[in-house]
Structure 1
Amino acid sequence: MLDYGMLRIPGSRPFRPSPKKELHIREQSWDNRFHLGQIPVYDAFKDKYLQQMSSVVHKKKIIIGGTRLHKKKELSINNLAQCISSKSMNRRPVIKNQIIKKLKDSLVSVWNQKMIPEPQRNLFLEAIDKIPAKIQSTIIVREIESLKNDKNPAQMAIRAIKAREHSLNELKDFANTIINASSTIKHNSVESILNLRMLSIHVVECIQTWRKTLHDISPDSIPENIKFVWEKENYLLKMQNDTKFLANTPIGAFIDFVPNDPFFIHFRVNNGKIELPVQGYLIKKIKDSEVILLNEGMKLYEEIENTTPKIMSMTQSRSKIFIDNYSKNIVFEEIKGDIEHGIIDYGADVPILIQDSMGKPINAYTNAQTMRYPAFLWAKIDKFIVGLITLNLENQKSMHNRLQISHISAVNVEIFEKVAEEIVKHIWKEYPCVEIRVGIISKISEQGKYESEKSIKQVFDKLGFRWKQMIYAINETPVQLLGLRRTENIENMKVESIFDDCIQISYGCVIQIGPKYETHTISGQYCSVVGILCAFKPFGGITNQYFGQLYGKIKGVPPAFRYRKDLSVELVVKDLKAIDLFPSDLTSRLETSISCSALGLSWGRFFPVIHKGIKYTRVLSEIEVLKSEDKTVYIVATEDPIYSVFFIPGDYRSIKNLFSFTKEVLGKIEKVSVSQELWIPSFEIKGENLVTELEGNFCSGKCIEVCKEVFRFKLLAALHPKGSLLSWPSEKCLIIENGFVFGMIHGKLDEELEIPLYVVNVPCENFISNS
């Protein structure tokens, strides 16, 4: 097999090698094909073909008829490995001064457009004057872009100054208009001054940012404390004295102003004036701002003689103030001014640990508004805000006298424990509640159990709170409800409290049968036809022309009433006293019947407020506005959909038969519109009505000796001892400021009898004042 050129490999068939000769790839030469997945590395120095070309001697060519010789550039191995780029091209020389000039012209154009004052322009040009042209152009471009986007430090400082100057001028104009300092004026004054404080802090911070920006550009030419000139005056120096005029205005009569105090942080002790609150998160900002003003070249606080009260120093650090005051008492003060934004600002100082357990302070205001009767309190040590508490009632306030702490927080855990302890003492002292409840947010552990933060839970465990139930908040957050029951007696506490119903009605009609005799009474004065008809049921009804028709329509016992016939006057008096009524001139040993009614209701959403020295109830629901000829009628639904109340504004003391008058007005009403807010003055009326036009007109044929109505109507939403939400009437709300007719409508009676349940005239003299 070898002779024939065949190969023999065991286990395979013989094969003949191909007679064709394989082409060999040229080595060390450029090849545009891929070899083994890679482009071959090419080295021009080892290329044999180039080596042969370089050895050939090129002769000069002579062009016949021409005198100019054309040289052909010889190939060089050394030039083959070099890259050719645009860098080797000749460029026109760049004149740097022309570029800078154009950029500066653009900058001046933007300055003119944004109305940047001349002093700020000159300082910027001075800062970039001595830096290299390349860096200078970059800074100018950056400056132009920040000006166009309204984010330039000089712009921000100018805007802050303009806002402060506007607020200062408004406060000055407002102070000159004050004649009598009412509670509303005091509130507005405090709110305006607190707003001016925030604007002053913002001015200092913006100027410091502007200073730092210029100093970073050129530390050698621009000092760190370069002055900011506004209207040819160093504005930081101006700030130290431009609020001193407030002490000589009517505002100075009820707010304490200390000289050279642009942030209104200092005060004189025990002078009987309003002390402006200080949020905890502002303490460091105010301290830093005061240091900046001191370094501006003018002494901020004057040394005061021994006869003048000392001013509290602000050079201490905030943490040291809190440590030094741990042993001092915590006091609770109502939040004045813009409650919502004040709470949001305070929230920046609350540790995350407390926020995760008790809820975020920024949500405390909104959450409290969704519940009944919100109250907002600052916890303070001296003048410093260290905690926040919001209080609410549970929805079943008529059934359970429970007060709920809907939010409680503090600036650290140690103060939190002290705040929780003090708020419990405050509640037991000021509120006639039987239980306090508080919720702790609980997270699900790895074992699937709801667990709250131990350090927070221990605070309430120490105070005696016990687990009640697990609920889910509005945002589906699991919350453990803890409760603390009162152990002491509350009989001696105030009768009027936030747990009372807003509408309280006590009514009784007593009828005594006996020999007829003359009495000097006013006919037609009665407040409930239903009550009178109910009292006649034990005697078989009444045949009076007006009352008899209505009596035939009453089936069974009218709603909200009960009646009985009892010969014992003592039992009748006992029934009336049970509903806080005290009748007179009842004769013993006569046939007697009595009908009684006692109601307690509230509105769905309402707040107690003060308006012009009178207690009002601010009702937030749908108020039907109706017209009856020239009279206006407001109808408001209560929390019980069957009962509604109505108001007819006006002085109707001259009306002899008020019930008939009201029935006629309600019979002609037409709906005009619907309002969402009504302010109702609080009132209380107690009295007796002797009804004489019924004599001799009843079914038994006997004479009526006495038909007497005894009644008490009270409409009042009690205020929290501290922290009730302050409100002012808006342009769209309805408000009753004079006398009116008050009455109640029952859905069933209104459909069947078309008469109100009660009617009473309320003159201004019966309004409840805030004194």
Structure 2
Amino acid sequence: MLDYGMLRIPGSRPFKLSPKKELQIREQSWDNRFHLGRIPDYNALQDRHLQLMGITNRKKKIIIGPGRVRKKKEVSSKDLAQCTSSKSIRRPPVIKNQIIKKLKDSLVGIWDQKSIPQPQREVFLQAIEKLSVKKQSSMLVKEIDLLKSDKNTAQLAIRAVKAREHSLNELKEFADTILNASSTIKHNSVESLLNLRMLSIHVVECIQAWRNCLHEMDPESIPENLKFIWENENYLIKMQNDTKFLAQTPMAAFIDFVPNDPFFIHFRKNNDKIELPVQSYLLKKIKDSETILLNEGMKICEEQEISTPKVMSISQSKSRLSIDDQSKDIVFHEIVGDIENEIINYTDEVPVLIQDSMGKPINAYANALTMRYPAFLWAKMGKTIVGLVTLNLENQKSMHNRLHISHISAVDTEAFGKIAEKIVKYIWKEYPCIEIRVGIISKINEQGKYESEKSIKQVFDQLGFRWKQMIYAINETPVQLLGLRRSDTTEIIQSESIFDDCIQISYACALQIGSASSNIVEPGQYCSAVGILCAFKPFNGISHEYFTPLYGKMKGVPPAFRYRKDISVDLATKDMKSINLSNLELKDSLETSISCSALGLSWGKFLPVVYKNKKYTRIFTDIEVLKSDDKTVYIIATEDPFYSVFFVPGDYGNVKNPFFFAKEILGKIEKVQVAQELWIPSFEIKGENQVKELEGSLCGDACIEICKEVFWFKVCSALHPKGSLMAGVNNNCLVIEGGFLFGMIHGKIDEELEIPLYVVRVSPGDFISLSKY
């Protein structure tokens, strides 16, 4: 059977092997080259076959012979946890680590080529350390590309620092060469300082961009206020003091240098030195940069545990007061002297909690000047300062009668509540306002909602303040605006206040027609040709050598005027009373028409001041200085772009008709220069003109019996009861001290009729003195 290739198995029939060689079935390969990532995880604890093996009781196998009995270890279910597949074992990715190492080596080479300092290198490596391998590789590739194209944030910051350091060295060398302060030296000094200011702003912005970039990589490890180290020193701290050497140079003789002012925007008052100009578009950048430098200084103080603005306990605040002061009530006093430096010295006493909610006191002075009518008040308990309050007219508007508390702070939270309560009572008593408003800084909480400090918000809630709206401050800080309205408006005393417009005009021209008369009278004077022409509207014209051409050019009703078509003395009297003018003693038996006008305007940017015991308005805007023959004319724009005001200084008491005289002057003016500051005296003038040269001007048998003008002009900016900002006269400003012609120009009237809207003659006797006010 074996010869024939037959295999006999007992109990079975013969089976012949296949002559072909069968292919061996290959077991599934465990080679990870082909099945890496495809084999499922193996958990021995869930293998039922192994569990049965552990549960089944096996008999001991006895080996017969001279040998000893050997025991076989039973498989326990506790040991199954140690049996795992190879996939679950974490092994470092050899290939990926090699890629990261190669990218880091390339980055170090680029760093060496671009001369990146070691501190900036270490911070970047720290920022990407906790990232995943994939993110690390992408960040390294991005960093290498930015460095090659010279657009890396650290690279830009280093370049900005080097440029500023080079400018500082050049400025120091230039200052050492100054012997005589000529006009050229002064001009070059100002140019160099303005250039240094721009470089300083650029440094702060670049460092802040570098910080933000690294903080976004790893917010947990990299803080938002990360130090930028340059030559083993925090450069933002260095910036605060590295310009103090300028105060010891010859430039200090004509330029005022204030400590800790790297942007050269703070100047002492009344020192007759050059103040560096600040462009409007730079104000926000400078304030933001100053805030960053201030926060950097506060952070260093906290790290070194030196005196910083901390929340002062009630016991500590009382210990600063004498025994007599502790028993006294809080009283508000105006700040005398250098207001800005006084506030800066006070800032260190204010807790951080109050500064974060109500704004930093160091910025209170600059912020108040951006609004109209600033007032600065110390809150004192006896002789000790316990708080600061600044007041402004809200949003440069006077029609709403709202007073804005632009800043309020205190040396502790208990004093803050008392000061807030006292200032509300003070405002209701001293100001005829309808509403008080105050803003609280509100940060975004974890839920994404704006939330203010509860202890500060509670103070205003108890006083009755209610939420009005959410606004953004100059530095893009979210602020909750709260408002408190006066409960009883009958208590308001109607008197001159900061809510009055700076320029107030009331004018009326009454015209009465009688029978023909042959009387010949002398020509008189008039205030407004436009008002007279408007009074003739109901009679459809005028026949006069001067007024007829103007009447033909005038289309419709002039701006800011209205006239009465119903010819009645009663209605004319009613119109005059509506604009606070007295009666012109008109005759009841004659036909009457009246034209009226009332205006209230303010300047763009100004401050009320006192000069030689007279009330003045200090205007900060572009003042056009023009010449007409030997006369000087100042033209100033108001808050309304259509209205402008002009002043012609001089004694014009002998001029018979100021209106016609001013028209001739304006017709020959030529622009000379643009001034930045003008001081104009406050005045109030009431008058009445008998316009006689219009006798017989109507066609037909009728003639003019009466043509009168009555007017009231007041140009004045009010003062606060306490705390108004006072300043002295600078050498660069223009001051009107004697009499002058005052007039107003409207763009449409000037274009169509080529005449001013009003003209009056003002003498020094019409000026408003401080005692009169």
TM-score, normalisation: structure 2: 0.58
Query: Structure 2 CA distance, aligned partners of 1:641 and 1:471?
Result: 26
Query: Structure 2 CA distance, aligned partners of 1:387 and 1:627?
Result: 50
Query: Structure 1 CA distance, aligned partners of 2:522 and 2:455?
Result: 70
Runs (4 or more) in structure 1 with deviation over 6 Å come to: 517-522
Q: Which residue of 2 aligns with 1:594?
A: 594
Mapped contact 2:317–2:411 kept (Cα < 8 A): no
* CA drift at 1:697: 1.1
Letter aligned with residue 468 of structure 2: K
Q: Which residue of 1 aligns with 2:467?
A: 467
Letter aligned with residue 455 of structure 2: S
Mapped contact 1:649–1:740 kept (Cα < 8 A): yes
Query: Structure 2 CA distance, aligned partners of 1:735 and 1:470?
Result: 42
Q: Which residue of 2 aligns with 1:320?
A: 319
> Cα deviations across residues 712-739 of structure 1 (Å, max 9, x unaligned)?
0100101111111111111111110010
Q: Which residue of 2 aligns with 1:707?
A: 707
Going from structure 1 to structure 2, the CA distance change for 1:430 and 1:317 (only over 3 Å counts) comes to: same
Q: Which residue of 1 aligns with 2:438?
A: 438
Q: Is residue 398 from structure 1 mapped to residue 398 from structure 2 by the alignment?
A: yes
Letter aligned with residue 448 of structure 2: G
- What is the SS of the residue equivalent to 1:390? strand
- What is the SS of the residue equivalent to 1:406? strand
Counterparts of residues 309-708 of structure 1 (less than 5 Å)? 319-322=318-321, 324=323, 325-395=325-395, 397-490=397-490, 493-515=493-515, 523-708=523-708
Counterparts of residues 186-197 of structure 1 (less than 5 Å)? none
- What is the SS of the residue equivalent to 1:440? strand
Q: Which residue of 2 aligns with 1:105?
A: none
* CA drift at 1:488: 1.8
Mapped contact 1:530–1:558 kept (Cα < 8 A): yes
Letter aligned with residue 495 of structure 2: V
Mapped contact 2:569–2:592 kept (Cα < 8 A): yes
Mapped contact 1:188–1:337 kept (Cα < 8 A): no
Counterparts of residues 220-239 of structure 1 (less than 5 Å)? none
- What is the SS of the residue equivalent to 1:552? helix
Mapped contact 1:633–1:649 kept (Cα < 8 A): yes
> Cα deviations across residues 379-434 of structure 1 (Å, max 9, x unaligned)?
00111111000011122523311000000000000000000000000100011110
> Cα deviations across residues 178-205 of structure 1 (Å, max 9, x unaligned)?
xxxxxxxxx989xxxxxxxxxxxxxxxx
Q: Which residue of 2 aligns with 1:230?
A: none
- What is the SS of the residue equivalent to 1:549? helix
Counterparts of residues 46-195 of structure 1 (less than 5 Å)? none
Letter aligned with residue 424 of structure 2: V
Going from structure 1 to structure 2, the CA distance change for 1:521 and 1:396 (only over 3 Å counts) comes to: farther
* CA drift at 1:491: 5.9
Q: Which residue of 2 aligns with 1:716?
A: 716
Going from structure 1 to structure 2, the CA distance change for 1:699 and 1:559 (only over 3 Å counts) comes to: farther
Query: Structure 2 CA distance, aligned partners of 1:562 and 1:522?
Result: 29
Mapped contact 1:376–1:389 kept (Cα < 8 A): yes
Mapped contact 2:513–2:705 kept (Cα < 8 A): yes
Going from structure 1 to structure 2, the CA distance change for 1:764 and 1:490 (only over 3 Å counts) comes to: farther
- What is the SS of the residue equivalent to 1:622? strand
* CA drift at 1:474: 1.0
Query: Structure 2 CA distance, aligned partners of 1:662 and 1:701?
Result: 34
Letter aligned with residue 488 of structure 2: E
> Cα deviations across residues 419-454 of structure 1 (Å, max 9, x unaligned)?
000000010001111000000011111111111111
Quick check: 390-399 or 505-514, which moved more? 390-399
Mapped contact 1:565–1:592 kept (Cα < 8 A): no
Q: Which residue of 2 aligns with 1:727?
A: 727
Higher-Rg structure is: 1
Q: Which residue of 2 aligns with 1:745?
A: 745
* CA drift at 1:590: 1.5
* CA drift at 1:589: 2.6
Mapped contact 2:678–2:735 kept (Cα < 8 A): yes
- What is the SS of the residue equivalent to 1:395? helix
Mapped contact 2:465–2:484 kept (Cα < 8 A): yes
- What is the SS of the residue equivalent to 1:570? helix
Mapped contact 2:584–2:710 kept (Cα < 8 A): no
Query: Structure 2 CA distance, aligned partners of 1:376 and 1:432?
Result: 18
* CA drift at 1:657: 1.3
Mapped contact 1:540–1:699 kept (Cα < 8 A): no
Letter aligned with residue 666 of structure 2: L
Query: Structure 2 CA distance, aligned partners of 1:518 and 1:342?
Result: 74
Mapped contact 2:270–2:727 kept (Cα < 8 A): no
> Cα deviations across residues 226-248 of structure 1 (Å, max 9, x unaligned)?
xxxxxxxxxxxxxxxxxxxxxxx
Counterparts of residues 214-253 of structure 1 (less than 5 Å)? none
Query: Structure 2 CA distance, aligned partners of 1:543 and 1:364?
Result: 61
Query: Structure 1 CA distance, aligned partners of 2:339 and 2:692?
Result: 56
- What is the SS of the residue equivalent to 1:659? helix
Letter aligned with residue 710 of structure 2: V
Mapped contact 2:394–2:404 kept (Cα < 8 A): yes
* CA drift at 1:490: 4.4
Letter aligned with residue 476 of structure 1: E
Letter aligned with residue 652 of structure 2: Y
Mapped contact 1:525–1:657 kept (Cα < 8 A): yes
- What is the SS of the residue equivalent to 2:564? strand
Query: Structure 2 CA distance, aligned partners of 1:444 and 1:437?
Result: 22
Counterparts of residues 246-261 of structure 1 (less than 5 Å)? none
* CA drift at 1:318: 6.4
Query: Structure 2 CA distance, aligned partners of 1:372 and 1:559?
Result: 27
* CA drift at 1:574: 1.0
Query: Structure 2 CA distance, aligned partners of 1:321 and 1:442?
Result: 31
Letter aligned with residue 402 of structure 1: R
Letter aligned with residue 728 of structure 2: W
> Cα deviations across residues 360-383 of structure 1 (Å, max 9, x unaligned)?
000101111111111111000111
* CA drift at 1:606: 0.6
> Cα deviations across residues 633-668 of structure 1 (Å, max 9, x unaligned)?
000000011000000000101100111111111111
- What is the SS of the residue equivalent to 2:554? coil
* CA drift at 1:583: 2.3
Query: Structure 2 CA distance, aligned partners of 1:415 and 1:683?
Result: 42
Letter aligned with residue 718 of structure 2: A
Mapped contact 2:517–2:703 kept (Cα < 8 A): no
Mapped contact 2:317–2:412 kept (Cα < 8 A): no
* CA drift at 1:700: 4.9
- What is the SS of the residue equivalent to 2:336? coil
Query: Structure 1 CA distance, aligned partners of 2:619 and 2:522?
Result: 36
Alignment coverage as a number of residue pairs:
464
Mapped contact 2:625–2:634 kept (Cα < 8 A): yes
Letter aligned with residue 320 of structure 1: S
Letter aligned with residue 473 of structure 2: A
Going from structure 1 to structure 2, the CA distance change for 1:620 and 1:552 (only over 3 Å counts) comes to: same
Q: Is residue 759 from structure 1 mapped to residue 735 from structure 2 by the alignment?
A: no
- What is the SS of the residue equivalent to 1:475? coil
* CA drift at 1:489: 2.6
Query: Structure 1 CA distance, aligned partners of 2:522 and 2:386?
Result: 62
Going from structure 1 to structure 2, the CA distance change for 1:443 and 1:613 (only over 3 Å counts) comes to: same
Letter aligned with residue 382 of structure 1: G
Query: Structure 2 CA distance, aligned partners of 1:491 and 1:701?
Result: 56
* CA drift at 1:749: 1.0
Query: Structure 2 CA distance, aligned partners of 1:436 and 1:501?
Result: 19
Mapped contact 1:521–1:691 kept (Cα < 8 A): no
* CA drift at 1:492: 5.0
- What is the SS of the residue equivalent to 1:653? coil
